[in-house]
Structure 1
Amino acid sequence: MSEPTYKLTVLISGNGTNLQALINACASSALPSTRIIRVISNRKSAYGLTRAAAASIPTTYHNLIPYKKQHPDTPAGISAARSAYDADLAALILADAPSLAVCAGWMHILAPSFLAPLAAAGVPVINLHPALPGEFAGAGAIERAWEAFRKGEIKRTGIMIHEVIAEVDAGRAIVVEEVEMREGETLEELEKRMHKVEHGLIVEGTRRALKEIGERREKERGEGEGEGEGEGR
């Protein structure tokens, strides 16, 4: 197998339907010359690990509980445990030298001890969030949007793929798609429609992020060649 141009590390916590969309895209022209090199889950029972194994993708289970056991059950202790957990998660990812880390249903807020090492290594991190920019940050976004629609506060919600920064769900949006709300629709029906949109958007957001990485590589290569020519004169 030839070396892919782009390598992905995918972080999951659950069923892994968005992971499956990425697996399928890597096997098609949707994400050419791209391979998922590892799937990491913070939940041992996540079905996404089974999906990864079926696609012969290496998997790692990385859970916060052992870190909490090493620290006192105080706000400072919990903070220290999370910081150590995230630092080890960053080291685990960087050991594989991926081009991009994709949070595809990853239910853990990433701390600066994770983000700083990846930024220093030039590895962007993107996330799927089932809401529009600036709306319903954090957990339960679909349910909160559904409740807001019932109260007449909104007429649409949406999904975005965005860069991950320290502030939750507040990084630059890479791609956004609105989803219209429907009168009389149950929460379960809305969730089902949202998930269908997610499967396409996670692929498109990843494609765009990789395109930006490719453009940056070309720019750096061009600058390097230009410096070399200058030194030879």
Structure 2
Amino acid sequence: MAAERKVVVLISGSGTNLQALIDAQNTPTLPNTRISLVFSNRKAAYGLTRAAQADPPIPTAYLALQPYLKANPGKTRADYDAEVARVVLREDPDLIILAGWMHILGEGFLELVDGIKPLREGEAPRKPVPVINLHPALPGAFDGANAIERAFEAFQKGEISSSGAMMHRVVKDVDRGEPLIVREVPIIKGEPIEAFEERLHKVEHEIIVQAAAKVLDEVKPLQT
């Protein structure tokens, strides 16, 4: 029997992309795969409720930057990022997916998940764990926040005819990692932003599952 593949998902909001992953786990689109933890940096994120209501329920964790800094005087944003990495890596995941995660993770996180630094002093670094992110824009366009709104505005000005969504590997530079799956989404003249957004989200729900399957097949292929 093929070994189970474990995934940790990081969220900040309603979790519709998380829901796509929940629905796909252990189906032909994402076989032998279990989401072992959903982690949020917002206490009120509805994605935590989605995880709790899944069958079987998915464990959740929450840690926000400002409360962490307040509770740990002298600690920095890099310390927070490292703490997020420690919580996530305790699950021993095969893959980490950022699905609407609205906090830029710096080297404090990446050095631990990439196996450059150990989790604790005196320990050996762990094997690297791939991290992938969903971004609602095409590679090199509209990096960072509010990508959908910025693309829609650029279309109104006649600067672009379409936008899209991509799944990419996470590196230090925001939204600049190697694209894994890229899908173009046209913007239709005269349509409201809500209609464009709805079509874009449908594409996101497909590519987040496809990219997860692609990377899991690289790091932990199903035994034949």
Confirm or deny a common fold (TM above 0.5). Answer: yes
Q: Does 1:125 align with 2:101?
A: no
Which amino acid in the other structure matches residue 181 of structure 2? V
Match of 1:198 in 2: 204
Q: Does 1:19 align with 2:14?
A: no
Please give the per-residue CA displacement for 1:31-62, whole angstroms capped at 9, x wherever unaligned: 00000000001111111111100111000011
Alpha-carbon separation, structure 2, partners of 1:36 and 1:182: 36
- What is the aligned counterpart of 1:114 among 100, 109, 113? 109
Match of 1:86 in 2: 81
Q: Which has the higher contact order (CA 8 A, sep 6+)?
A: 2
Match of 2:216 in 1: 210
Q: Name segments (4+ residues, structure 1) moved above 6 Å.
A: none
Q: CA deviation at 1:87?
A: 0.5
Identity level (%): 53
8 A Cα contact 2:94 2:220, kept in partner: no
Which amino acid in the other structure matches residue 37 of structure 1? S
Alpha-carbon separation, structure 2, partners of 1:11 and 1:171: 17
Alpha-carbon separation, structure 1, partners of 2:209 and 2:11: 15
Match of 1:227 in 2: none
- What is the aligned counterpart of 1:161 among 151, 164, 167? 167
Alpha-carbon separation, structure 2, partners of 1:211 and 1:94: 20
Alpha-carbon separation, structure 2, partners of 1:11 and 1:133: 21
Alpha-carbon separation, structure 1, partners of 2:48 and 2:88: 16
Residue 10 of structure 1 aligns to a residue in which SS? strand
Match of 1:57 in 2: 58
Please give the per-residue CA displacement for 1:156-201, whole angstroms capped at 9, x wherever unaligned: 1010000000100000001100001110011111111111111111
Alpha-carbon separation, structure 2, partners of 1:213 and 1:27: 17
Task: Tell me how large the CA RMSD over aligned residues is.
Answer: 1.8
Alpha-carbon separation, structure 2, partners of 1:66 and 1:85: 10
8 A Cα contact 1:67 1:84, kept in partner: no
Please give the per-residue CA displacement for 1:69-122, whole angstroms capped at 9, x wherever unaligned: 2578xxxx7xx5211110000011111100000000000000101011101031
8 A Cα contact 2:114 2:129, kept in partner: yes
Alpha-carbon separation, structure 1, partners of 2:147 and 2:67: 29
Q: CA deviation at 1:68?
A: 3.0
Which amino acid in the other structure matches residue 113 of structure 2? L
Higher helix share: 1
Residue 134 of structure 2 aligns to a residue in which SS? strand
TM-score for both structures, normalised by structure 2:
0.89
8 A Cα contact 1:9 1:100, kept in partner: yes
TM-score for both structures, normalised by structure 1:
0.86
Which amino acid in the other structure matches residue 6 of structure 2? K
Q: CA deviation at 1:214?
A: 2.8
Q: CA deviation at 1:3?
A: 8.3
Q: CA deviation at 1:4?
A: 4.7
8 A Cα contact 1:102 1:126, kept in partner: yes
Alpha-carbon separation, structure 2, partners of 1:107 and 1:4: 32
Alpha-carbon separation, structure 2, partners of 1:26 and 1:69: 37
Unmatched tracts of structure 2, length 5 or more = 116-126
Unmatched tracts of structure 1, length 5 or more = 219-233
8 A Cα contact 1:70 1:81, kept in partner: no
8 A Cα contact 1:161 1:175, kept in partner: yes
Alpha-carbon separation, structure 2, partners of 1:202 and 1:106: 13
- What is the aligned counterpart of 2:151 among 119, 134, 145? 145
Match of 1:69 in 2: 70
Which amino acid in the other structure matches residue 101 of structure 2? W
Q: Which one is further off, 95-104 or 205-214?
A: 205-214
